[in-house]
Amino acid sequence: MNKLEIINIPLKNREYDIYIGDNLLEQSANIIKQKFANRKFAIITDENVAKYQLARLQNALQREAIKAETIIVKAGEGSKDFATLQKVIDKILALHLERQDMIIAFGGGVIGDLAGFAAAITRRGMDFIQIPTSLLAQIDSSVGGKTGINTKYGKNLVGAFHQPKLVLCDLQSLKTLPPRQFRAGYAEMVKYGLIDDEEFFFWLEENYQHIFAGNNEQRAKAIAHCCRAKSRFVIADEREANIRALLNLGHTFGHALEAVTGYSDRLIHGEAVAIGIVLAHKFSAKLGLIPSQDAIRVQKHLQLAGLPTTLEEIKGTKPTIKELLTAILQDKKIMGGNLTFILTKAIGKSFIATNIDIKNVETFLKEII
């Protein structure tokens, strides 16, 4: 598949394009050179991406005589911390990159969040490019300008809204993605159908096997669909004051699970989201908002995709109710001390539920733990 798809994000004064295509890394330098002439670059990536993908990007940039230094960090959610952020910023400054120069975030969601945040605060704001190499990053985290790091109090609690100048999604990059990481990204793909697009969820039920089997046509179609879906929310509510919060379906429970498992390999982000999506639907059923069959249907599809859907599937000691409630109370959507959850009235009909009683959450957790 050689078709190139371009999706425009028309934010006022911050407009940018998302490119989706096969072997896009080989074309990346030409695109970058046309859009951003006479700039220096720093590529921020992790050890895994550097091993399998970095040479492709470096060779492309060298062919166009584009100067780019590389900063490599450890792979994994643990790199989204203050210590790694400090190291990255120090290296950017040591390279004498100026404000008009650019950062290239080359990796999955962790790298996109970390590099984007470094760009947002270094020299009071540098431009950056997202080149996402994971499914999760291509369909979700690379689009919309959310950047940040984790703290001991919770996930993404320190960060900034900082839109990229360009997003390049190379389907070929997914070929070296470990199966576990690909499945994790698929959880976010399913999310888009469950928010407000039941037809897309039904399409995924019919076509998920083709996506997992490496069908580039189906992969490109699904990735483009998700990018368009996210762009609608970003355009309508860039800084998540209201409707963009729907993109957090499954994330209140999911982020809490990540926190209590120490942002470790025990549970990676997409797996936490998968469990969180199931819990959000089961909690909706508990509150009488949906029939239990809807929650079962969602859980079954995620199971067929090879994703965990229960707390029992988390490696190591099972989280306690107290741990989960403590983490949930640090959720970014809390307003005036009141809990906000993304719940649902049917498949593809999610909504923002405010003023959720913590006692109802506790009762629900007691039933499933």
Candidates 48, 162, 165, 188; catalytic one: 188
Does 248 participate in catalysis according to the annotation?
Answer: yes
Q: Which two tokens stand for residue 132?
A: 């996402």
Candidates 162, 165, 219, 230; catalytic one: 230
Candidates 80, 156, 183, 240; catalytic one: 240
Nearest to 1 by CA among 199, 131, 169, 129: 169
d(CA 302, CA 319): 21
Contact, 19 vs 169, CB < 8 A? yes
Candidates 248, 258, 282, 301; catalytic one: 248
Does 269 participate in catalysis according to the annotation?
Answer: yes
Q: Which residues pair with 43 in a beta bridge?
A: 70, 104
Candidates 48, 77, 91, 146; catalytic one: 146
Candidates 244, 281, 282, 286; catalytic one: 244
Candidates 12, 124, 359, 366; catalytic one: 124
d(CA 284, CA 342): 9
User: Phi and psi for 4 in degrees, rounded to 5?
Assistant: -105, 125
User: Phi and psi for 352 in degrees, rounded to 5?
Assistant: -90, 115
Does 175 participate in catalysis according to the annotation?
Answer: no
Q: Which two tokens stand for residue 251?
A: 């994330």
Does 67 participate in catalysis according to the annotation?
Answer: no
Candidates 191, 269, 281, 282; catalytic one: 269
Q: Which residues are catalytic?
A: 124, 146, 188, 230, 240, 244, 248, 251, 255, 269
